Structure 1
């Protein structure tokens, strides 16, 4: 116990500290170990307050602290809902309370949380707290808390605004940052956002979507590594195909790397990545995305869209409805209607249609995917992503199958060109696939898809064709206009109309334009000069 209190990352009584490190709840034991060790179990009152971004972060912080205290008897409360937290604070007061600023402020206002017993306050993580709408009650919260306790601030990045806030809430705090190390090349990764409680489910779905023949599953926490090993074993991966690693040495190789924990430093991340070209996937909480980007050194960070089985089933059902709609609108089904009309006296029309679909599924012959693809008319889709966006053909196929819920065997030829791509899909569901694909994210870019049409099949331009002035109305036969000498003089009257000017202008003046007989213009009156004398 005494040796742990002297760790450089610990905080002694009444001392403020700032730790700059990536958002990772598994880092709490080495940062807050000394504070948690000083909790007096005999005192049934809140002694440590951990301020988090939201309810999910509060649950993650509470879970990390529960793992720290073990069997010591320290009670931990995640204030994810103020009514439940208020009841537990009054009935069985915990020693540690975690929660967002709004929830904690509500507990203070209702007097369920007594600020006088709080000896240490932790802000985890400051940058994510300030970026959320939950940060508004932060100032009121700190105004109620005792100022003599220890203040610990965790942040994944620093800025002048953060420094000002830290000086206000944790005056004269000592700084402790992870070593930056030598600058290296920026890395790229794809990630899945999932809560800590859903990490195992997210890993299973990720392995289903990517279908990786081999992978390295990295986690610093032993419990997370055991959980990952169980998921891989459940999915049928051999031990050597899904290796579980807790260090860079164990993760050596070129197999795709799946991060279940964030590394502590950029150096550790570069050691895990090894040589260039290794694919990196990460399962992170939404609030950890900025930390992941920082650890990668500013490289590309793009999300992976995972679909549940229910969503895929809904996509298949939508494709089926689209096919039925196409048959009903473009084919004559009167003979089929006459065949099932007697059944309408016994069953509802929807039930008859469902039974027909069941019969179709039961009697549909099983054909190879290639043969089936040859008999189905295909339509080309134009997608706004190409080689310049780093998109590959297999990624477009995965995006189509995951967003529209159709099997990959129904996707035809895929051409990835410089600025766009052409993807062939069954004609009966082309519009459906285009609508589902539009808005999905591939390689960090939002896709836009539409049915591609050849130039000769496109409709006419709206408006007059180029080079034509259009119909200007019936202007009549202008006839032989003759030479200019044949035209009537301007001074004469127009044929068939009044004199020029549209009114009776009277006799023509005896002088013409520029004639010397024109009367002189009246002289302007003399300007009188002001006598300044």
Structure 2
């Protein structure tokens, strides 16, 4: 069954959500649903299975979390959870868990994130007290199932979030094993940024006549994009406000719009910018029309240089002198990005579009590039040295303008009295220093750290993610590229297997050079190893006669091939 999100009634109230959820959304500053939420929430509330193709940042967490909470029946102490959300990484498990908690606060929802790297004792205590929703990585969820500490007999809904990422990380068999423990009558929801055949295979095996929703496939007509310089900065969430100030200092826009996702974020960013000395105004749906009109009048009149707004509040804005559009977050959909940057670069003038992204949101930037057909250049944040150089340049420009236009004669008496005692060059330097300091040029700044990928999102040499925070071996990956076979070894971390054990066994038993062995992924119960295609059968035959850590593993080609 296909669903067109554009046909849904606008507004969260029109989606049939219960009053407690609508109140929570209002308190969080959510103004209206994103396209994926408009399309997904009604069929999920109706009990349908669903397959959604949507990237990070499109609002898909609320798209499945709100329907989960809509039909929530609190579990007792002895009952298992009613909903299970599987995610690829511990970071995402925390984010989804926090979101479910915020949405369901008024419902008293009990939600628990479970993932590797966290003491299991605390998870056992919370599970024993009873939870309504479990959000976890497949490895740790399966661990609890095998311990008997997580019972899935009462599960009403299972969500597979970022399913392609989970399969890329080697969780395919874990997912199959987990789904086998849940009731056949469950509702199953699958979200994935891409839909390769292996994802479609899971949908065919485990979903019943699902509603299908696809986001971000609309093509952009030739010539539709304006003349815009597009760039992005990868910044950790905690440093995004500081990065925004740094970029504004360097770019010095004539007029700019900073787009935020929620009213609360708009107010916070506006306060931060004003504290930094900018003239910033907020614009969001919580303001009256008169307030909005006054804000826009100050922007067009030049008394305000920065407008901080939500998408809804900024609809229809046309500011002729606008030079910059800044996305404080990656837009909720690629089409929203195109709409935003269309506000600059008009009438042949060049504009600038700047986007801040978290490390895990780089895939969304790629989706935008595919839609627009234009590259978004990843830039490095200006350093403190860069910022100081920029401020000195601003001081020099101000002095040059004064020399060219101002009446300086009335200050000559000051100059002459000083040059009787000091060298004229030193007098000039002192004047420059005073001007520079008055403009805030010597304000202390801390370096903004370059973010690293979270442990569960680190990449192997060929660009794949390693599961559950395990690093791939740091060596040259000669198996990368075409002609690569991916082998399944039926031993993992629980058997004490390490990358060096696999490399040593394959090199010793099959006669491969260790440099020919590619990416290695180790999960709790199995491992995946890449070898050159022409050696795959030889490796399988050799390893079936060998032992690793005292055990003889099952070795075969990976069933869920790419």
Q: TM-score, normalised by structure 2?
A: 0.49
> Which residue of 1 is the match for residue 271 of structure 2?
230
Alpha-carbon distance in structure 2 between the residues aligned to 1:139 and 1:246: 41
**1:218 to partner: Cα distance:** 0.9
Give the corresponding residue for 2:16.
4
User: Are 1:281 and 2:354 an aligned pair?
Assistant: yes
Task: List aligned pairs for 1:171-182, cutoff 5 A.
Answer: 171-178=208-215, 180-182=217-219
Instruction: Please give the alpha-carbon distance, in whole angstroms, between the structure 2 residues aligned to 1:233 and 1:91.
Output: 49
> 1:92 and 2:156 equivalent?
no
User: Aligned residue for 1:70?
Assistant: 105
Residues 236-255 of structure 1: CA deviation (Å, up to 9, x unaligned): 22113231111252765433
Among 370, 378, 381, the alignment partner of 1:306 is 381
User: What is the RMSD of the two structures over their aligned residues, measured on CA atoms?
Assistant: 3.9
- What is the Cα deviation at residue 69 of structure 1? 1.7
**Contact 1:167–1:173 (Cα < 8 Å) also in 2:** no
Work out whether residues 235 and 357 of structure 2, in 8 Å CA contact, stay in contact via their aligned partners in 1. yes
1:184 aligned onto 2:215: no
Q: What is the CA–CA distance in structure 1 between the aligned matches of 2:355 and 2:278, rounded to whole Å?
A: 19
1:119 to 149, 156, 165: 156
How far did 1:272 drift?
0.7
Q: Is it true that 1:158 corresponds to 2:199 in the alignment?
A: no
- Paired position in structure 2 for 1:324: none
CA shift for structure 1 position 209: 5.9
How does 1:385-424 map onto structure 2 within 5 Å? none
**Cα separation, partners in 2 of 1:181 and 1:39, compared to 1, 3 Å:** same
Using the alignment, how far apart are the partners of 1:255 and 1:12 within structure 2? 43
SS in 2 for 1:112: coil
Aligned partners of 1:214 and 1:224: how far apart in 2? 20
Query: Could you tell me which residue of structure 1 aligns to residue 315 of structure 2?
Result: 249
Q: Show CA shifts across 1:58-111 (max 9, x none).
A: 122123222322322112222242526523433533322222222322232233
Structure 1: gaps (5+ residues): 314-364, 372-400, 404-533
Distance 1:38 1:86, change over 3 A: same
What does residue range 507-518 of structure 1 map to in structure 2 within 5 Å? none
Correspondence list, 1:192-231, <5 A: 192-196=233-237, 199-204=240-245, 206-207=247-248, 210=251, 212=253, 214-231=255-272
Q: Is the 8 A contact 2:249 2:387 kept in 1?
A: no
Q: Distance in 2 between matches of 1:367 and 1:137?
A: 72
TM-score for both structures, normalised by structure 1: 0.52
Q: 1:2 to 1:93 in 2, by over 3 A?
A: farther
CA distance in 2, matches of 1:280, 1:132: 33
Match of 1:37 among 70, 78, 94: 70
Q: Deviations over 1:368-397 (max 9, x none)?
A: 69x9xxxxxxxxxxxxxxxxxxxxxxxxxx
1:434-513 to structure 2, matched below 5 A, reads none
Separation (CA, whole Å) in 1 of partners of 2:47 and 2:138? 22
Tell me: CA distance 1:252–1:123, structure 2 relative to 1, closer, same or farther (3 Å): farther
State the distance in 1 between where 2:176 and 2:218 align. 35
Residue 28 (structure 1) aligns with? 61
Q: CA deviation at 1:120?
A: 0.9
For the 8 Å contact 1:189–1:302, the answer to whether it is kept is yes
Match of 2:400 in 1: none
CA deviation map 1:5-35 (0-9, x unaligned):
6975221465310122231274432444222
Q: Residue 38 of structure 1: CA displacement?
A: 0.7
Q: 1:310 to 1:119 in 2, by over 3 A?
A: farther
The structural deviation recorded for 1:160 is 2.7
Of 303-312 and 71-80, the range deviating more from structure 2: 303-312
Give unpaired runs (5+ residues) of structure 2: 1-12, 19-37, 281-303, 389-425, 433-446, 450-562
Residue number among 73, 88, 96 corresponding to 1:53 in the alignment: 88
* Aligned 8 A contact 1:86 1:112 in 2: no
Output the CA distance in 1 between the equivalents of 2:340 and 2:14: 34
* 1:199–1:133 Cα change, 3 Å: farther
Contact kept? 1:128, 1:287, Cα under 8 Å: no
Kept after mapping to 2: 8 A contact 1:125/1:156? yes
Q: CA 1:367 to 1:217, structure 2 compared with 1: closer, same or farther past 3 Å? A: same
Counterpart mapping for 1:133-172 below 5 A:
137-172=174-209
**Structure 1 residues 79 and 195 mapped into 2: Cα distance closer, same or farther (>3 Å)?**
farther
> Kindly tell me: are residues 402 and 235 of structure 1, through their superposed partners in 2, closer, same or farther at Cα, counting changes over 3 Å?
closer
Does the 8 Å contact 1:79/1:85 carry over to 2? no
- Report the equivalent of 1:335: none
What is the DSSP-based 3-state SS (H/G/I as helix, E as strand, rest coil) of the residue aligned with 2:339? helix
Q: Which whole-Å CA distance do the structure 1 matches of 2:70 and 2:310 have between them?
A: 26
> Which has the higher Rg, Structure 1 or Structure 2?
1
Post-superposition CA distance 1:101-144 (Å, at most 9, x none):
22322232233322122221112222333333566633333233
Partners of 2:188 and 2:207 within 8 A in 1 = yes
SS in structure 2 of the partner of residue 244 of structure 1: strand
**2:457 corresponding residue in structure 1:** none
Give the SS at the match of 2:55.
Answer: coil
Q: Distance in 2 between matches of 1:210 and 1:144?
A: 55
Give the 3-state SS of the residue equivalent to 1:146 in structure 2. Answer: coil
Q: Is the 8 A contact 2:54 2:192 kept in 1?
A: yes
Q: Partners of 1:188 and 1:99 in 2: how far apart?
A: 40
| Number of matched pairs | 322
